[in-house]
Structure 1
């Protein structure tokens, strides 16, 4: 059946769609069977990656602050019945809490597991001003999805990720939930301005690494190649079965 990857975080602008895009690119490098879904009704950024052929579901009405239960039921049924090897679901910050409540109240994760799907919840922790908010988002995820594999991405773009001068693996939040956190993936690219410029141009154009390298000159192409190899290696280092070509279920 499918490896279903939900990308959830209650703080906007911290790189959630970025990690959705990196995961999609990596999975496409090992499997052609990757289905992408964008449920961010406020800002459909993920669907702007044309090469991903993203399906859009407007599950949330920002004016009423309610989920559209008809649309989300359609999406849930679609995912439930899917036989795609990999499914990426990128959700918006505004619908983080409503979607999480829907998934838990309706036991959607349990139903997907019973159908033979493997579920992974991805979230991102960032340094700087978003540190406490993203940590709170992770805590909510761990409380609501206690029997589901959680993958934490550490985005160092905005600064060091330190809580009380401790790195993530020294936080009590991590230590108390280390069994549930099945993978940690750092995003810690070269901080030189040239690397950052290349990355921002790629992200602004909603291009993949390969698309950006095709249209770049030699030195920019080399920098993009380094970043791609670095993030792909970090994903591989988790040694999770969902990131292997055979996709056997984790123990």
Structure 2
């Protein structure tokens, strides 16, 4: 069975990168896939803070540069995984440029492909004030890694992901790179005071969806609302 790497990358903080990573891990657990998680965020290691996900934190930065030995640890963890394993990697916002440069300069993805390991980059795009910054990160990813399929996640929490009156699928970025965009996913806009607050509390408490459903941090209404109830399966088997 083929091993797969899912690298979640975005240079703008608060765009939903760690939420995307955690949802991927929990969905794969629910689908009875073999999955391991790695947290490379040097400043806000959110993924590894959610204990139920079992993410391995690896500090790959040495000052402003990538530490090659620590990066070798990441590659070894991928290579030594059992056949069929999905590796979800949450990268750091602060180290976005350094990580992109290091991966490109060292042909890391080509090496993985040579060993039959499939690679996907997941990039959240955020509506609202951060829209342009997140688009720029996507353009950087598409420019650095021209042979790697990209999954775009539209995070609508702060507003629709629309530029010049056009949705993402109508944008020039999408039209020019449609053959490289493997899928377009969505974090749909939810009511901030209810569903949004439930998710915020869940992430702040470092809980998985299943743990949140079972936690006394949430009242009966929160447990019954669609956000937590619908996602309760993401962390279960």
Q: What is the TM-score with the length of structure 1 in the denominator?
A: 0.86
RMSD between superposed Cα atoms in Å: 1.8
Q: Which has the higher contact order (CA 8 A, sep 6+)?
A: 2
Deviant stretches of 4+, over 3 Å: 224-227
Indicate the larger mover: 151-160 or 216-225.
Answer: 216-225
Q: Which runs of 5+ in 2 are unaligned?
A: none
Distance in 2 (CA, whole Å) between partners of 1:166 and 1:32 is 36
Partner of 1:41: 42
Q: Which runs of 5+ in 1 are unaligned?
A: 233-251
Question: Is residue 189–residue 227 contact of structure 1 (8 Å, CA) maintained in 2?
Answer: no
SS at match of 2:184: strand
Residue correspondences, number: 229
Partner of 1:74: 73
Q: What is the TM-score with the length of structure 2 in the denominator?
A: 0.91
Partner of 2:222: 220
> Superposed, which structure 2 residues align to 1:87-236 within 5 Å?
87-191=87-191, 193-215=193-215, 216-223=218-225, 224-228=227-231
Does structure 1 residue 52 correspond to structure 2 residue 56? no
Distance verdict in 2 for CA 1:15–1:103, change over 3 Å: same
- What are the superposed Cα offsets for residues 99-150 of structure 1, whole Å, 9 maximum, x if unpaired? 1111111111011111111111001100111111100100111111111110
SS at match of 1:94: coil
Question: Is residue 39–residue 56 contact of structure 2 (8 Å, CA) maintained in 1?
Answer: yes
Distance in 2 (CA, whole Å) between partners of 1:217 and 1:65 is 44
Indicate the larger mover: 176-185 or 28-37.
Answer: 28-37
- What are the superposed Cα offsets for residues 41-100 of structure 1, whole Å, 9 maximum, x if unpaired? 122111101001111110013xx3111111112212321332261111100111111111
SS at match of 2:147: coil
SS at match of 1:157: coil
Shift of residue 32, structure 1, vs aligned partner: 4.9
